[in-house]
Structure 1
């Protein structure tokens, strides 16, 4: 299904979604990839050899949208026109994470879900100013004029979207206009709008500038020690996550008390 190669099977959807360690969030690895989550496998949609340039700078479409539609039809699930496009900023970029969320929901829903790499403008990724239940600080988008990022967008059907919504208690799902946040998909499309999960708590910031996403919690915890002098996030990240999970409000109180929270600047 990739535009210049035969499809490659990446993994089974029932494979572990990520290491069980919250300190390793966001568990991304080589996350910026296009893929199709199917009932029996995860299929690579990227060209053979990978992609060396930002999605919007590639002359030809990287992903064949007709092949995606054919796969959806073959699985007997909703076409793209009946799905909601959601831009992911954290672990939701990976099919493994989404497959895990479907399984944990206990609902009998179709799992087939397309994931496509994309370029988005004027948006960046930082951290929610509060913890997720396991004790890590999850990712959150924020307005960042002049920034350009490579992320992954996902098409969810109605049932799938309801499941994912339920797994995001720290967020509001917002609809953003491409007039404000231009988006170019690997399919060659430039949709008029897309959804994002935006933090209910603001984002961690130094002054008015959000702190960009750190790819290991240890980096962020050490940074917060330097900014606050507090022992709350001092030490081994696994131990810090466990302590934060046992005191769910402590991190938000710490960053709020030290003026380390800023609004994400997204329209509500």
Structure 2
């Protein structure tokens, strides 16, 4: 475990910059004192599924995580629920803000570990968030391979995160259909994801996640010509925040919604 620690920000990021994940996924441990890197030296250069030599170099140590959790008086990994995130929940900063906004007296120690998942891809929920951006949503995509982040939540933490996802249903995926390999070297039998309750935005097939809201808004304008989506992304997010059903109505009228294939 790296000794570098950073503080978790308390102010939300701009909605037009969603999903706020930065250039690459990372393994980290959220603690009351800040965020500690979990990736070993060289992990950024080696994929989760690698040759034996690279795997030894890239593994995140499970024993180190459990030792850190025990030092915080937090629940061990064996007593937590594994959830694979596809959007901003991949970042400790987002989860820290959700815990803080809940107002609950939580044990916030939470591990985040890189993972590779097969048969799953990431697109956009067919509904906007409360802040007006179009959030990420997973969907079945045979043959796809994604590098994402898996998070272990205790029961109280999971209840808080569930409440922050009103447009989603947490569903359990069987690894026989959607194989998962963690950067710890483990391959769990199942894991949870937050699946869109509204379907995913699709144009013949699901539209893959765009890493800038401006790209997604411009793409939908090109398809639909909808005035509500025209302009700078910050302005569009502000419009959609006060018209929460506008995006869902628009994509349904234009036949731009597909089932995610996860249930």
Matched-pair contact (CA < 8 Å) for 2:181–2:188: yes
Matched-pair contact (CA < 8 Å) for 1:17–1:97: no
1:109 paired to 2:95: no
Q: 1:154 to 1:17 in 2, by over 3 A?
A: farther
1:76 paired to 2:73: yes
How far, CA to CA, are the matches of 1:215 and 1:93 in structure 2? 14
Which residue of the other structure, out of 229, 253, 256, is the alignment partner of 2:252?
256
1:242 paired to 2:235: no
Q: 1:75 deviation in Å? A: 0.8
How far, CA to CA, are the matches of 1:250 and 1:96 in structure 2? 29
Which residue of structure 2 lines up, in the alignment, with residue 150 of structure 1?
147
Matched-pair contact (CA < 8 Å) for 1:204–1:211: yes
How far, CA to CA, are the matches of 2:42 and 2:145 in structure 1? 23
Q: 1:62 deviation in Å? A: 1.6
SS at match of 2:156: helix
Which residue of the other structure, out of 16, 20, 26, is the alignment partner of 1:33?
26
| TM-score between both structures, scaled by the size of structure 2 | 0.96
Q: 1:230 deviation in Å? A: 1.5
Q: 1:263 to 1:169 in 2, by over 3 A?
A: same
How far, CA to CA, are the matches of 2:64 and 2:232 in structure 1? 46
| TM-score between both structures, scaled by the size of structure 1 | 0.94
Which residue of structure 1 lines up, in the alignment, with residue 210 of structure 2?
214
Q: 1:18 to 1:46 in 2, by over 3 A?
A: farther
Q: Any residues of structure 2 matched to 1:113-152 within 5 Å, and which?
A: 113-152=110-149
Q: 1:263 deviation in Å? A: 0.3
Matched-pair contact (CA < 8 Å) for 1:17–1:96: no
Q: Aligned pairs, how many? A: 259
How far, CA to CA, are the matches of 2:27 and 2:70 in structure 1? 19
Q: Any residues of structure 2 matched to 1:167-178 within 5 Å, and which?
A: 167-178=164-175
Matched-pair contact (CA < 8 Å) for 1:18–1:27: no
Which residue of the other structure, out of 3, 23, 41, is the alignment partner of 1:8?
3
Unaligned segments of structure 2, at least 5 residues: none
Q: 1:205 deviation in Å? A: 0.3
Question: How large is the RMSD of aligned CA atoms in angstroms?
Answer: 1.1
Which residue of structure 1 lines up, in the alignment, with residue 183 of structure 2?
186
Q: 1:50 to 1:190 in 2, by over 3 A?
A: closer
How far, CA to CA, are the matches of 2:12 and 2:246 in structure 1? 26
How far, CA to CA, are the matches of 1:141 and 1:245 in structure 2? 22
Q: Any residues of structure 2 matched to 1:191-202 within 5 Å, and which?
A: 191-202=188-199
Which residue of structure 1 lines up, in the alignment, with residue 161 of structure 2?
164
Cα deviation, 1:109-143, whole Å, max 9, x if unaligned, reads: 10000000000000000000010001000000000
Cα deviation, 1:199-255, whole Å, max 9, x if unaligned, reads: 000000011x10000001000000000111111211111110101111111111100
